[in-house]
Structure 1
Amino acid sequence: MRRAGNVLFIIIDQLRADCLNGALAAHVDLPNLREFMADAVTFDRHYSVTNPCGPSRASILTGQYAMNHRSVRNGTPLRHDTPNIATEMRKAGYVPLLFGYTDTTADPRVHDPNDPILRSYENPMRGFEEVVEMRLEESYPWRSHLLQKGYEFDDYWDVHKPVARGGGNARLNDPAMYAAQDSDTAFLTDVFLNSMASRVGESWFAHLTYIRPHPPLVAPAPYNDMYDATSLPLPVGFAEADSERALHPFFGPTMAKQTPADFVLGFDQVDPTPENIQTLRAVYLGLATEVDHHVGRVLGFLKDSGQYDDTLIVITADHGEMLGDRHSWGKMTVYDAAYHTPLMIRLPENQARAGAVVSEPTESIDITPTILEWVGQTIPNSMDGRSLMPVLHGQVPDDWRSYSFSELDFSQPERPTIWQKELGTGHSDSCLGILRDRRFTLVEFAADVSPMLFDHAAQGEMENVAEKPEYATELARLTRLMLRHRMRNMDHTLSLHSITPDGPMSKDRF
């Protein structure tokens, strides 16, 4: 039975889970997200099932592991007929409103080669109504807003460069050229609030996606230097980069792939000095605080308009960020910091569970099935994720998963990546799987590359124990568990359908 009510689904790009609960939490001011945590259910073992941006959002919005949707890189097409949250919410009578982006690459089989949709990986996913285009590499409405406000720039990317206050050479944490009220985060929030004001009293579904604190790391005043870089905790890892590289052959190319220089524009080089690294970490936290401020505006609007108690609210991130930990940047790696993300869900009728924390492992593919169940829409068998509705009510199913699973594809068909060159891998075996249970993390490669095993009851991610004889039994157990997981989660789009003399029949997956 379909219900009346609103759904607000917020994704904050590249927000680490430990900004809300962990090493960085005490060093960043996120009052609105923390207030929301106290009114929602928080999942503290929540992981993205794949990286980077395009694949992670493909998994979130289709409910599928990357091994099934296979949109495994930014720029890899998503099959045009894949059910997703927008197509299924339409079946429930909702117009899926998109404020921001989904980073979806169109299926070239259903478009003419000259169609501009095949020139970018930042297109909206099928089924969404794009209210405002806010794609990082385009953002024409925001550009126009800046120009109309009198800002001058010849090249769009100049907008993303820090500007020295008194002229001269800029510093890493100098402010953006625009004021805080004109930032991309502020602009998107303004459009959302202006657009949704007329929908009070309707049942609506809105997907609001903030690009920050995703790089380029540039923030408007006062967020640019809000935090004292010298007071922040140092990045996690070995003091020497060579010690990180020695842990496994995968990490050398990982560290070389992205450096601090890739995270800020307008500088010829950014040496990885402790001062520079801490400064960039401080700017990242400032951007997170800016997003928090505008999330507070959105939640305030729901309360002031009387919609807060009629709205299912989901706040999460698409993936994490290394932020200098392990001498690494970005999310193309195997460590928890790149996959561990916040997830907070508030059900209107679930105030008895306000402030509860769930420690069962959850995955990004669980979000779409949860939303669909809440609105009363059938969950397609193609979706690998499981609805969190019983868990939200404090009732964990007996057969709930005991581990989480993630994947990473580090190939590039058009130009072999640094990993392919250094590891000697090809297009089909340049990928890995990550399985995390309560104690261990197993990283297994499709290529003939040695696995990694981290024991969190010992040195955790600081030591690869895969080659130690005393761990052979656990290594075999986890390897079999990963194999069984992949076998059980092969594509179910049609596998539970049957054509019979009485017509087509099907069984629900879960």
Structure 2
Amino acid sequence: MKRAGNILFIIIDQLRADCLNGALAAHVDLPNLRAFGNEAVSFDRHFSVTNPCGPSRASILTGQYAMNHRSVRNGTPLRHDVPNIATEMRKAGYLPMLFGYTDTAADPRVHDPGDPLLKSYENPMAGFHEVVEMRLEESYPWRAHLMDQGYAFDDYWDLYKPVSPTGDAPRLNDPAVYRAEHSDTAFLTDTFLSNIAPFKGQNWFAHLTYIRPHPPLVAPAPYNNMYDPAALPMPVGLPEVEAERALHPFFGSTIENQTAADFVEGFDSVEPTPENIKTMRSVYLGLATEVDHHIGRIIQFLKDSNQYDDTLLVVTADHGEMLGDRHSWGKMSVYDAAYHTPLMIRLPGNQARGGTVVSAPTESIDITPTILDWVGQSIPNAMDGRSLMPLLQGQEPEDWRSYSFSELDFSEPENSTLWQRQLGTGNSDSCLGILRDERFTLVEFAADLPPILFDHHGRGELENVASDPEYAADLARLGRMMLRHRMRNMDHTLSLCSLTPEGAKSKPRY
């Protein structure tokens, strides 16, 4: 098979879509990503189909909804035989190189009980060639690099504690102990550039995953205080936390599950004062700018080495981040801020479409089928996502989806979650589905909990109108849409295969 060219697939962890287009865009400097957006096709209604990190990446890389791959929590195993971007790219003749992490929990059925793979969810997905390990809780190559540079630390997590330049008590936006040229983001970029250089002319595939701006929120100078906290907007939401809780029983546990104090290291407590919240948001934006700087280095390398026009370049995020919106932190929520992510794709030979924006609903499960489509590799029927190639070329298929769908599992079998304890839900019904069409967002629960309905022609996410009789017909219609969506997207691994006298035959899903 003649291969198409290079593929560079970049995931930025926890980058909100509105950093590039929306509420935070005016407050953060991302010159390289914005310049890339002028050369790529952007998708402004792009959503993660599930959260948090492990499940989200399982969906992105397998092209499957969580309801099918069922790796629904960090630490929930992914079946060993699920096709993914790495296994399928190998069929196309590519070596799938991983720079970073995939947060994959291994299938215990095919490993010895004593295998260290079964003691962490941060392992690489099957099929990947791990060039450098950069897992948040491990990052041993980066640790070794810091030691070589003369940094001393007794505990790995000390690296994530701000350090006062004057020796005083540290502040939230004091710098990290390491310099910018030695940060985890810089190290990963340096390693990628040095390792990928020899592959020029070989049609390579690389999956590059940046942990930042994922917490702990600590940044090296000058990114730690690049943005004036006082100049940043306060998070959106209802003024009083009790009003947020009153919207639905789910939100009380959501607000309590993660707080501002969980996003920093080295502080006994962090009160959610306006000053503290804005300061933490400023560090988050600084980390995003740091990632932008290093992505700029990579784009320049591709241009300088005459590989830019031969490389399919995809830039996205695994999920969003509440960042104090709705009095919440993290991504275990139902609001758009936790799921709405940027997606920019530059397709070789598609320069005429550079700078265009696609508003058709797209989902994180569409990325893998798109890459496979571009290299000419067949897309397994097990994949629920669809190739974005027609949309990239300015053609929207008549049968393209009119909504996006996401899921969230808020259970923990070994240690019940706050939601389970407060809502009285079990391991199998502590989950929800989210359907977003052009006007509404519907949230339905597996447990006996009332639905949530947001009308974006009204007050949007500030008001739950599910109990308003005026919306009864919309609630019923959207509920049927969600049911039909789940029925149409049940596991297709073998459902279109037939055994005949001539042998096994299969029809393509799309």
Q: Same fold (TM over 0.5)?
A: yes
Residue identity in the other structure for 2:274: P
Determine the structure 2 residue equivalent to 1:471. 471
Compute the displacement of 1:202 (Å): 1.1
TM-score by length of 1: 1.00
- In structure 2, what is the Cα distance between the partners aligned to 1:253 and 1:266? 25
The separation in 2 between residues aligned to 1:91 and 1:20, in whole angstroms, is 35
Identity over aligned residues, as a percent?
A: 78
The residue that corresponds to 2:110 in the other structure is 110
Q: What secondary structure is seen at the aligned counterpart in 2 of 1:189?
A: helix
Listed as ranges, the gaps of 5+ residues in structure 1 are: none
What is residue 507 of structure 1 aligned with on the other side? 507
Aligned residues of 2:61 and 2:85 also touching (Cα < 8 A): yes
Kept in 2: contact 1:2–1:377 (CA 8 A): no
How far apart, in 1, do the equivalents of 2:21 and 2:427 lie?
Answer: 37
- Tell me if structure 2 keeps the 8 A contact 1:64–1:384: yes
SS at match of 1:276: helix
Following superposition, the deviation at residue 168 of structure 1 comes to 2.5
Residue 175 of structure 2 aligns with which residue? 175
2-structure distance, mates of 1:5, 1:84:
20
1:18-33 correspondence to structure 2 within 5 Å? 18-33=18-33
Contact 1:72 1:409 in 2 (8 A): yes
Q: Letter of the 2:290 partner, please give it.
A: E
In the aligned structure 2, how far is the partner of 1:337 from the partner of 1:176?
A: 27
Code of the aligned partner of 2:11: I
Q: Report what 1:356 is aligned to.
A: 356
Distance in 2, matches of 1:258 and 1:184, equals 24
**What corresponds to 2:309 in structure 1?**
309
Q: Is the 8 A contact 2:3 2:93 kept in 1?
A: no
2:98 counterpart residue number: 98
Q: How does 1:148-297 map to 2 (within 5 A)?
A: 148-297=148-297
TM-score (norm 2): 1.00
Letter in 1 for 2:230: T
Q: CA deviation at 1:14?
A: 0.1
Q: Is the 8 A contact 2:14 2:319 kept in 1?
A: yes
What residue is the counterpart of 1:460 in the other structure?
460
d(CA) in 1 for partners of 2:392, 2:440: 26
User: Is residue 43–residue 357 contact of structure 2 (8 Å, CA) maintained in 1?
Assistant: yes
SS in 2 for 1:454: strand
CA displacement 1:73-119 (0-9 Å, x = unmatched): 00000000000000000000000000000000000000000000101
Decide whether aligned partners of structure 1 residues 2 and 494 sit closer, same or farther in structure 2, where only a CA change above 3 A counts: farther
* CA distance in 2: counterparts of 1:424 and 1:474, whole angstroms: 28
1:485 Cα deviation after fit: 0.1
Deviations 1:411-432 (A, max 9, x none): 0000110000111110000000
In the TM superposition, residue 2 of structure 1 has moved relative to its aligned partner by: 4.3
Q: Once the 2 structures are TM-superposed, how far is the Cα of residue 273 of structure 1 from its aligned partner?
A: 0.4
Secondary structure of 2:249 counterpart: coil
- The Cα offsets for residues 26-60 of structure 1, whole Å up to 9 and x where unpaired, read as 00000000000000000000000000000000000
Equivalence for 1:489? 489
* Pairing 1:432–2:432 present: yes
Q: Distance in 1 between matches of 2:487 and 2:197?
A: 47
SS at match of 2:498: strand
**Secondary structure of the structure 1 residue equivalent to 2:344:** strand
Which ranges in structure 2 are unaligned for 5 or more consecutive residues? Answer: none
Question: Shift of residue 455 of structure 1?
Answer: 0.1
Deviation readout 1:201-231 (Å, 9 max, x if unpaired) = 1100000000000000000000000000011
* Cα distance, 1:121 vs structure 2: 0.2
- Residue 458 of structure 2 aligns to a residue whose secondary structure is coil
> Is the alpha carbon distance of 1:2 and 1:489 closer, same or farther for their aligned partners in structure 2, counting shifts above 3 Å?
farther
**Structure 2 residue identity aligned to 1:102:** T
2:47–2:339 contact (8 Å) kept in structure 1: yes
Query: 2: distance between equivalents of 1:149 and 1:167?
Result: 22
Deviation readout 1:237-256 (Å, 9 max, x if unpaired)? 01111110011000000000
Aligned AA (2:395):
Q
Q: Pairwise mapping of residues 327-476 of structure 1 onto structure 2 (< 5 A)?
A: 327-476=327-476
Aligned amino acid, residue 14 of structure 1: Q
- State the 1:501 CA deviation: 1.1
Structure 1 position 166, deviation (Å): 1.0
Give 2:508's aligned amino acid.
D
Separation in 2, partners of 1:209, 1:84: 16
Alpha-carbon distance in 2 for matches of 1:47, 1:115: 35
Report the AA paired with residue 255 of structure 2.
M
State the Cα distance separating 1:233 from its structure 2 match.
1.1
The Cα shift of 1:200 comes to: 1.0
Distance in 1, Cα, partners of 2:442 & 2:177: 45
